[in-house]
Amino acid sequence: MKRTVYAGETPRVTVPTVTGEITVLEHHEPYVTILAPGLVRYVAIVPHGAGTIEKEETLAITGGFLEVRPGNEVRILADA
């Protein structure tokens, strides 16, 4: 089954890779890596009253791929 878990802004995303855990921050260089089983952690920006708040979310994965694109875009294709 194919679905989007989160599409929006985030100040950081941390993923398990086959060579260790990495955290992607704003203005990260373009990058592609293979994901290992573990937890993806990201900070979701969610509406709250008249503003927004940051909420840390986690997602268990069994593997996949991460791509960091120019323009602060991160794409994760993963099996859950």
Residues 13-70: pLDDT tens digits?
Answer: 999 999 999 999 999 999 999 999 999 999 999 889 999 999 999 999 999 999 999 9
**What pLDDT, on a 0 to 100 scale, did the predictor assign at position 8?**
87
2 has pLDDT over 90:
no
**Which amino acid appears at position 32 of this protein?**
V
Tokens of 43: 């900070």
CB 27 within 8 A of CB 73: no
Beta strands 38-48 and 20-25, pairing class: unpaired
Check residue 9 and give its pLDDT: 87
pLDDT of 80 > 80? The answer is no
Which comes out higher in pLDDT, residue 1 or 44? Answer: 44
DSSP string, 20-47: EEEEEETTPPPEEEEEPSEEEEEEEEEE
CA angle (78, 28, 8) in 5-degree steps: 55
Written out in words, the top-level CATH class of the domain with range 12-79 is mainly beta
